Amino acid sequence: MNTKDENDQGLLWEVFVQAKPGIPHKHAGSVHAHDAEMALASARDVYTRRREGTSIWVIPSHMITATTEADSESFFDPADDKAYRHPTFYTVPEGVKYL
């Protein structure tokens, strides 16, 4: 990681901000910091200067595992042919309510 003397920018952290209580945290961007405490303080200064958040999560970027573009087609296509998972797949007889 970036801890050599000539590169003293710290680790890269991803920042997730919850805008209001009760809703999910959403990715806001990233910050550089040497530890979690510093990452939280920077994230507050960089991403919530206008009360955009009530809670912040930070995680070192290298800890995140993500799908890749090359795999994404085969990874997600099992869901493609399962329209019956949606309520609109079904016909509701006329006059029947609350379905």
Choice between 20 and 97, CB closer to another protein? 20
Considering CB under 8 A, how many residues would be counted as binding another protein?
23
Q: Which of 23, 15, 98, 8 is nearest to 64 (CA)?
A: 15
With respect to another protein, which residue has the nearer C-beta, 5 or 94? Answer: 5
- CA atoms within a 13 Å half-sphere pointing along the CA-CB vector of 86: 7
53 CB-near residues (< 8 Å, 6+ apart): 17, 18, 19, 28, 44, 47
Indicate the burial class of 59 (C-beta count within 10 angstroms; 0-12, 13-18, 19 or more). Answer: middle
Q: Pick out residues in 57-96 that bind another protein (CB under 8 A).
A: 66, 68-69
> Does residue 26 touch another protein according to CB under 8 A?
no
Q: Which of residues 28-57 bind another protein (CB under 8 A)?
A: 29-35, 38, 45-46, 49-50
Q: Is 10 in the site for another protein (CB under 8 A)?
A: yes
Name the phi and psi angles at 62, rounded to 5.
Answer: -70, -10
In the complex with another protein, the residue whose CB is nearer, 34 or 55, is 34
Task: State in angstroms the smallest separation of the CB of 41 from another protein.
Answer: 11
